[in-house]
């Protein structure tokens, strides 16, 4: 009953247009950083205009009820030459445009060589473009690296940091990932911070601790729901065809959400993606799990029908 009166109160407040002094943010999220911020500001002012004068009002004790718009992100990894990459991105952007209003944001993260042409090809459409990594410095003598400012310059709104392939193959630790996320924020990018346990860690019963520790160590100061997305990707499920069960995913995502409290602005509004062998056949079940706010997709993001099929489960 108490919960119901809270909900009722909330809606009466909104409809009545009275005021509430709370400062809750509902970033939701659009494809591009500026759009997301604009939305956050609008919703801030909407919320500030709410009052609930009802004496039974328990609004102040309410949990925030964030609107977390799903994010379907494609990580192309080291795949795609010019013609095929452009064809894939253009195909997706046309499907998005034809679909009209949808319940998800869509992002592709091509290899560095394709970021600019892909961004140009999809400019003016809702399809967002991201990088797969960035350096902690804005410029300098770092052969082979790419800075967050360069990603912005090439047309990116997002960047993936701390992917397990970077952590494993390039020795990246939480502190470096946090520094990369901070560099991304400083450049105006939304950082998708990846975490996930190995098979050995899961089998040793350490999955929750490992993931919580990665989350805590990889989030920089000044992170909030508007500039940060978390992606839970169990290492053993990446590119293997093995997917975590819904129960496993639910457990880890709830734990990630709890870990975010006190470590990031608007923890309840932060989007937490699941990644690891997501495909059209398992997406609906995964996307329905509590605290799963989208997907980070590798292999299946290289095939327009498959990637679109995953996104359509969030339509």
> Catalytic site residues?
163, 233
Instruction: For residue 296, state whether it binds ligand PGA (rule: CB under 6 A).
Output: yes
Instruction: For residue 74, state whether it binds ligand PGA (rule: CB under 6 A).
Output: no
* Distance of alpha carbon 296 from alpha carbon 7, whole angstroms: 32
- What does the per-residue mask of binding to ligand PGA show for 234-273, with x meaning CB under 6 A? ----xx----------------------------------
Instruction: For residue 214, state whether it binds ligand PGA (rule: CB under 6 A).
Output: no
Residue pointed to by tokens 């309410």: 62
Task: Reduce the DSSP state of residue 85 to 3 states and report it.
Answer: helix
Task: Reduce the DSSP state of residue 279 to 3 states and report it.
Answer: coil
- Report helix angle 207-218 to 174-187, nearest 10: 40
Whichever of 149 and 249 has its CB closer to ligand PGA, that residue is 249
Task: Reduce the DSSP state of residue 231 to 3 states and report it.
Answer: strand
Instruction: For residue 195, state whether it binds ligand PGA (rule: CB under 6 A).
Output: no
Residue 251 phi/psi, 5-degree rounding, is -65, -45
* Distance of alpha carbon 39 from alpha carbon 28, whole angstroms: 7
How many Cβ atoms are within 10 Å of 135's Cβ, its own excluded?
A: 19
Residue choice 57, 75, 147, 228 for contact with ligand PGA (CB under 6 A): 75
Whichever of 140 and 241 has its CB closer to ligand PGA, that residue is 241
Report, in Å, the least distance between residue 111 CB and ligand PGA. Answer: 14
Residue pointed to by tokens 């975590």: 244
Instruction: For residue 278, state whether it binds ligand PGA (rule: CB under 6 A).
Output: yes
Task: Tell me the two tokens of residue 111.
Answer: 């290899």
Instruction: For residue 299, state whether it binds ligand PGA (rule: CB under 6 A).
Output: yes
Report, in Å, the least distance between residue 259 CB and ligand PGA. Answer: 20
Instruction: For residue 162, state whether it binds ligand PGA (rule: CB under 6 A).
Output: no
Contact set with ligand PGA (CB under 6 A): 75, 233, 238-239, 275-278, 296-300
């Amino acid at each position: 009953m108490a919960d119901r009166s809270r909900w009722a109160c909330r809606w009466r407040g909104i409809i009545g247009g009275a005021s509430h002094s709370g400062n809750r943010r509902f970033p939701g999220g659009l494809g591009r950083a500026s759009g997301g911020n604009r939305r956050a500001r609008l919703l801030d002012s909407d919320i500030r205009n709410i009052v609930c004068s009802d004496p039974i009002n328990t609004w102040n004790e309410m949990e925030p009820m964030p609107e977390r718009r799903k994010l379907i992100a494609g990580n192309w990894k080291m795949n795609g030459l010019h013609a095929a990459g452009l064809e894939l991105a253009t195909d997706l952007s046309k499907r998005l445009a034809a679909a009209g209003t949808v319940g998800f944001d869509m992002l592709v993260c091509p290899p560095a060589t394709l970021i600019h042409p892909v961004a140009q090809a999809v400019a003016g459409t809702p399809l967002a473009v991201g990088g797969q990594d960035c350096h902690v410095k804005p410029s300098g003598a770092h052969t082979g690296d790419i800075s967050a400012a360069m990603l912005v310059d090439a047309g990116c709104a997002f960047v993936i940091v701390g992917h397990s392939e970077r952590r494993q193959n390039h020795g990246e630790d939480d502190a470096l990932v946090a520094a990369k996320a901070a560099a991304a924020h400083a450049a105006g990018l939304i950082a998708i911070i990846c975490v996930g346990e190995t098979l050995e860690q899961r089998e040793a019963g350490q999955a929750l601790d490992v993931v919580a520790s990665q989350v805590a160590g990889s989030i920089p100061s000044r992170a909030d729901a508007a500039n940060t997305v978390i992606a839970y990707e169990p290492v053993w499920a990446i590119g293997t065809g093995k997917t975590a069960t819904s129960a496993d995913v639910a457990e880890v995502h709830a734990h990630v959400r709890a870990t975010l409290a006190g470590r990031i602005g608007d923890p309840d509004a932060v989007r937490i993606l699941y990644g690891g062998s997501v495909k059209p056949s398992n997406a609906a079940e995964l996307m329905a799990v509590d605290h799963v706010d989208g997907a980070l997709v590798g292999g299946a993001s290289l095939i327009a029908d498959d990637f679109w099929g995953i996104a359509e489960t969030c339509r």
